[in-house]
């Protein structure tokens, strides 16, 4: 225990301490005789009880009492004085004095100290209990009135006895008063569902985290989780149902949307994996066809057959490229593109599917300017809009696609002032379908928002479209009227270049100028045996010395054997035992001068093509023409 004794008489302080020592032999005493000592003690010390005289040479005991109570409201203050004034005692007790002892009766001091300490302890318990009760009431009021959890009590007959605002909000009532007028049974999809719930509660008495489908006041389905307690009479009859509920409708929707998105991602991964093997096979078909064509003349009876094989293989390669683009597995590489070409290729590829009961009209601007975009991404944008238009016209209709050059003023007005470049290209997609109301139109670019039934759409298409156009510094707008169709308008900034006619379907990349060979040694790392043989054979014919490996580990061993004479490594990015990036890292540690040409049947950035692009390596997408391979090899070696 620690006592603070305030008295300007040394002898009186000694008498008080001597008397207390008999009852509290282990106590610590801090004595104060003047105001400076008091300030120091109050600033740095902690006390269990304060004993003060009334008449001090600088103040009085009542002022001391107020001073202590301001800083230590729970510390009891006991007045020990020679002044036997009843008025002082009464005033002191009213102000919070714990007890009052005359110096002439110090034998009563230990008992008075015990009583003061006990009284302070009980008062603190009482104050704490009152404070906890007040906090509990405030918390309950806050939970009941302001919480997001719906609280309720109702009878088995469906009469709602009480509820909070959250309960009313969850079920779509305007207020608690309106909710209390409702029959709880109408909040279940069917009367049988309510009776089934009551049977479960009568059996279990209490339900925790019970998931159930209910309906809002307007009939809208909702999903809730409830914790429910039944009240029963002496005969075991259910008389009241009370508890609280959580609205999990949005969480359930998000879970369903996540599942759909994961399925979509799985499809993309599957397409990407299949495309890798398919591109390897196409590489072999195109390679052998081109080598056969190079060995015969046009008059040869097999020339037309080989040429057709090459053409069909080329179309298959383009188809694979587009499938990868739609599955978002391609490396994003902006190029200068004519949007007329994008539209023509999409309609050539999917026109028959879209036009099964729909009239399609394409109105191109023949002088359309060039835009700098990622071809595959813009292709995906157009495909999404065409598919949506198709779905919006289940009973047939007309799909109109237009391209046009527009000035800054026209684009600015069409984009509601969100554009800043000087010239734009406008791509519009218009249907005569069911259209949209204003509320639906305001949400269409939000992720996972869809008006299609479950299983028919993910709600991701238009949000990706919006994001892609935004990444290209463009703008997409929508105008729609319910029952009168929808118009999507895309504005993309132009580039000051001559018209680029980039036609993927007719890309003549296999027509190359004469390629110069060389006599260097080249390491080829390719796991597909047919393609590896073709690459080795073609490069050998151009004069190169070729060593080849079926996997990265074997390729590393060959390089270590011939490291002084291999200036170039041609490697697939995905090979067994060691991937292309790892092979590069190991070889680069031994020889920084060795150059690399990477090839792959994938177009996925997860296989380190970002690494290839960031490092500035040349990359060849499978399937490639063998003369193109030779040209790239010579180009890299001459750098």
Which CATH number characterizes residue 480's domain? Answer: 3.30.565.10
Q: Are 480 and 526 contained in the same domain?
A: no
What range does the domain containing 222 cover? Answer: 150-247
Q: Are 459 and 571 contained in the same domain?
A: no
**Which pLDDT value is given to residue 450?**
60
**Which pLDDT value is given to residue 328?**
47
In this predicted structure, the answer to whether residue 601 has a pLDDT above a threshold of 50 is yes
Q: Are 417 and 486 contained in the same domain?
A: yes
pLDDT tier, 602 (very low <50, low <70, confident <90, very high otherwise): low
Task: Identify the residue whose tokens are 């139109």.
Answer: 441
The verdict on residue 328 lying in a domain is: no
The verdict on residue 286 lying in a domain is: no
DSSP bridge partners of 477? 489
DSSP state of 202: H
Beta strands in 61-104 (DSSP E): 77-81, 99-102
In this predicted structure, the answer to whether residue 187 has a pLDDT above a threshold of 90 is yes
Q: Are 351 and 485 contained in the same domain?
A: yes
pLDDT tier, 446 (very low <50, low <70, confident <90, very high otherwise): low
Instruction: List b or e across 496-506, with b for residues whose CB sees 16 or more CB atoms inside 10 angstroms.
Output: eeeebeeebee
Q: Are 90 and 195 contained in the same domain?
A: no
Task: Identify the residue whose tokens are 């509601």.
Answer: 416
What percent of the chain is predicted at pLDDT more than 70? 80
Q: Are 404 and 470 contained in the same domain?
A: yes
Least confident of 189-193, 277-281, 590-594, 601-605: 601-605
**pLDDT tens per residue across span 322-354:** 555 545 444 456 788 899 998 988 887 766 666
| Domain tally, the chain | 4
**pLDDT tens per residue across span 371-421:** 988 887 888 888 888 888 888 888 888 999 999 998 877 766 665 555 566
Q: Are 585 and 621 contained in the same domain?
A: yes
The verdict on residue 420 lying in a domain is: yes
pLDDT tier, 86 (very low <50, low <70, confident <90, very high otherwise): confident
What six digits make up the tokens of 414? 């069409």
The mean per-residue pLDDT over the stretch 294-313 comes to 85
What six digits make up the tokens of 260? 């759909």
| Full 3-state SS string of 218-235 | CCCEEEEEEEEEEEECCC
The verdict on residue 319 lying in a domain is: no
Q: Are 122 and 154 contained in the same domain?
A: no
What six digits make up the tokens of 423? 């010239």
The mean per-residue pLDDT over the stretch 482-496 comes to 88
- Residue 600 and residue 620: Cα distance in Å, rounded? 7
- Residue 538 and residue 625: Cα distance in Å, rounded? 10
In this predicted structure, the answer to whether residue 447 has a pLDDT above a threshold of 50 is yes
In this predicted structure, the answer to whether residue 85 has a pLDDT above a threshold of 90 is no
Q: Which of 204, 227, 247 is the last residue of a domain?
A: 247
Q: Are 353 and 482 contained in the same domain?
A: yes
Q: Are 406 and 452 contained in the same domain?
A: yes
Least confident of 96-110, 247-261, 467-481, 557-571: 247-261
- Residue 116 and residue 78: Cα distance in Å, rounded? 7
The verdict on residue 300 lying in a domain is: no
The verdict on residue 143 lying in a domain is: no
Q: Are 11 and 65 contained in the same domain?
A: yes
Q: Which of 475, 493, 511 is the last residue of a domain?
A: 493
What percent of the chain is predicted at pLDDT more than 90? 35
Q: Are 104 and 179 contained in the same domain?
A: no
Question: pTM (2 decimals)?
Answer: 0.41
Q: Which of 493, 513, 542 is the last residue of a domain?
A: 493
The verdict on residue 453 lying in a domain is: yes
CA nearest neighbour of 465 among 455, 457, 475:
475
The verdict on residue 349 lying in a domain is: yes
């Amino acid at each position: 225990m620690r006592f603070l004794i305030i008295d300007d008489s040394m002898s009186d302080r000694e008498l008080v301490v001597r008397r207390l020592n008999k009852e509290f032999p282990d106590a610590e005493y801090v004595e104060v005789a003047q105001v400076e000592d008091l300030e120091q003690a109050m600033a740095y010390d902690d006390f269990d009880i304060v004993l003060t005289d009334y008449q001090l040479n600088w103040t009085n005991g009542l002022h001391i009492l107020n001073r202590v109570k301001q800083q230590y409201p729970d510390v009891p203050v006991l007045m020990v004085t020679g002044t036997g004034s009843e008025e002082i005692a009464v005033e002191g007790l009213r102000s919070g004095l714990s007890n009052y002892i005359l110096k002439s009766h110090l034998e009563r001091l230990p008992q008075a100290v015990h009583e003061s300490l006990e009284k302070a302890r009980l008062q603190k318990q009482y104050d704490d209990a009152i404070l906890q009760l007040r906090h509990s009431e405030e918390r309950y009021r806050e939970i009941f009135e302001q919480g997001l959890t719906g609280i309720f009590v109702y009878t088995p007959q469906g009469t709602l006895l009480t509820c909070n605002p959250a309960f009313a909000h969850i079920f779509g009532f305007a207020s608690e008063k309106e909710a209390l007028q409702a029959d709880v049974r109408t909040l279940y999809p069917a009367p049988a569902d309510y009776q089934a719930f009551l049977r479960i509660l009568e059996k279990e008495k209490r339900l925790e985290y019970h998931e159930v489908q209910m309906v809002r006041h307007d009939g809208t389905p909702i999903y809730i989780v409830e914790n429910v307690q039944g009240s029963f009479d002496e005969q075991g009859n259910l008389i009241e149902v009370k508890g609280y509920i959580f609205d999990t409708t949005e969480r359930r929707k998000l879970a369903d949307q996540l599942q759909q998105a994961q399925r979509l991602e799985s499809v993309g991964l599957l397409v990407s994996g299949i495309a890798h093997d398919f591109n390897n096979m196409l590489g072999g078909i195109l390679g052998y066809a081109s080598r056969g064509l190079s060995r015969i003349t046009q008059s040869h009876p097999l020339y037309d057959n080989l040429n057709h094989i090459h053409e069909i293989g080329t179309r298959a390669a383009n188809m694979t490229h587009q499938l990868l683009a739609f599955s978002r597995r391609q490396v994003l590489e902006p190029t200068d593109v004519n949007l007329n070409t994008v539209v023509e290729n999409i309609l050539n590829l999917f026109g028959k599917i879209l036009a099964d009961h729909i009239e399609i009209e394409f109105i191109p601007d023949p002088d359309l300017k060039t835009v700098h975009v990622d071809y595959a991404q813009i292709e995906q944008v157009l495909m999404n809009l065409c598919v949506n238009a198709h779905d919006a016209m289940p009973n047939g209709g007309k799909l109109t696609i237009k391209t046009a050059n527009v000035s800054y003023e026209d684009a600015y007005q069409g984009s509601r002032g969100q554009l800043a470049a000087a010239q734009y290209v406008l791509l519009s997609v218009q249907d005569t379908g069911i259209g949209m109301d204003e509320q639906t139109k305001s949400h269409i670019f939000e992720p996972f928002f869809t008006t299609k039934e479950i299983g028919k759409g993910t709600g991701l298409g238009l949000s990706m479209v919006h994001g892609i156009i935004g990444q290209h510094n463009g703008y997409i707008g929508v105008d729609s009227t319910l029952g009168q169709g929808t118009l999507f308008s895309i504005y993309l900034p132009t580039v000051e270049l001559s018209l680029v006619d980039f036609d993927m379907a007719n890309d003549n990349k296999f027509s190359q100028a004469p390629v110069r060979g060389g006599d260097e040694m080249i390491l080829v790392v390719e796991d597909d045996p047919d393609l590896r043989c073709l690459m080795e054979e073609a490069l050998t014919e151009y004069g190169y010395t070729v060593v080849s490996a079926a996997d990265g580990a074997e390729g590393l061993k060959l390089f270590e054997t011939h490291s002084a004479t291999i200036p170039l490594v041609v490697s697939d990015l995905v090979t067994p035992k060691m991937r292309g990036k790892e092979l590069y890292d190991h070889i680069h540690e031994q020889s920084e001068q060795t150059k690399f040409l990477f090839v792959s049947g994938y177009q996925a950035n997860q296989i380190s093509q970002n690494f290839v692009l960031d490092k500035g390596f040349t990359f060849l997408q499978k399937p490639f023409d063998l003369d193109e391979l030779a040209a790239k090899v010579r180009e890299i070696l001459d750098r």
